[in-house]
């Protein structure tokens, strides 16, 4: 809904009570299947081993850096980012095994305007396409919207990265557009697709995710009974 100023020009909705939001902190976010905890050097060995379970390095294609060929270089990367506040990296820890199985980060943090992005998503074969993977994303979303009170949560990816595009839309992100020739990555052009969830959309997305993650939505062999999209579409 647009408002108008004294000149009759359309302007945005008034936000008289808006205040800059808190900056996200290094803390543990606890779920049922997994927990998110600040990524540290203590995760390096087990997390590197989890990534080594992949039959090839295709999961690295869309990352900004080249594959790490040994635990020492992987550890050095973690050491270079673990103290940063932006990006703020989290390890995804399997609650059953207590081992790290992936990582992701909050980044491009704009507390003044309540805007934040999820990125640096790198899930090992132990995490990809599991309930844990969805729960990890939900834990971060809940922290951003419910705890910190941000207005906008962004997801950006290479326009050619179809798995990332599908994941964003499955999770409830809305496609906003394509930024052509946005970056040069590893010597190649990158067009970047932008997706977002805004605070008014979050309650429905949150409810759908909680229903999807409920134990009753999975068969004894771990197969989902209903899709996340179907819970969102039902709206109840």
**What sections of 82-221 are H helices per DSSP?**
131-142, 162-171, 202-213
How does pLDDT run across 142-181, given as a tens digit for each residue?
A: 999 999 999 999 999 999 999 999 999 999 999 999 999 9
CB atoms within 10 A of CB 182: 16
Domain ranges for the chain, please list them: 24-234
SS3 210: helix
Closest CA to 30 of 189, 173, 136: 136
Q: Is the pLDDT of residue 206 over 90?
A: yes
SS3 198: strand
pLDDT of residue 235: 75
The pair of structure tokens assigned to 170 is 């499955």
CATH class of 24-234: alpha beta
Contact residues for 142 (Cβ-Cβ < 8 A; gap 6+): 29, 206
């Amino acid at each position: 809904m647009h408002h108008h100023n004294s000149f009759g020009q359309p302007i945005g909705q008034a936000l008289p009570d808006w205040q800059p939001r808190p900056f996200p902190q290094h803390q543990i976010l606890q779920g049922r299947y997994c927990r998110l905890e600040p990524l540290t050097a203590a995760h390096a060995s087990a997390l590197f081993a989890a990534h080594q379970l992949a039959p090839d390095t295709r999961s690295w294609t869309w990352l900004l850096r080249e594959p790490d060929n040994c635990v020492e270089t992987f550890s050095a990367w973690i050491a270079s980012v673990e103290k940063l506040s932006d990006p703020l990296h989290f390890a995804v820890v399997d609650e059953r095994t207590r081992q790290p199985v992936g990582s992701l980060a909050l980044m491009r943090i704009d507390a003044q305007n309540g805007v934040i992005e999820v990125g640096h998503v790198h899930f090992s074969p132990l995490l990809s396409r599991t309930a844990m993977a969805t729960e990890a994303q939900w834990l971060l979303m809940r922290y951003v919207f419910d705890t910190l009170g941000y207005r906008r949560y962004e997801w950006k990816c290479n326009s050619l990265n179809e798995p990332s595009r599908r994941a964003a839309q499955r999770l409830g992100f809305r496609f906003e557009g394509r930024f052509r020739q946005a970056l040069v990555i590893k010597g190649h052009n990158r067009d970047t697709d932008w997706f977002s969830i805004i605070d008014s959309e979050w309650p429905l997305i949150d409810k759908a995710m909680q229903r999807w993650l409920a134990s009753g939505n999975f068969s004894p062999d771990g197969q989902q009974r209903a899709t996340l999209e179907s819970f969102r579409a039902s709206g109840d």
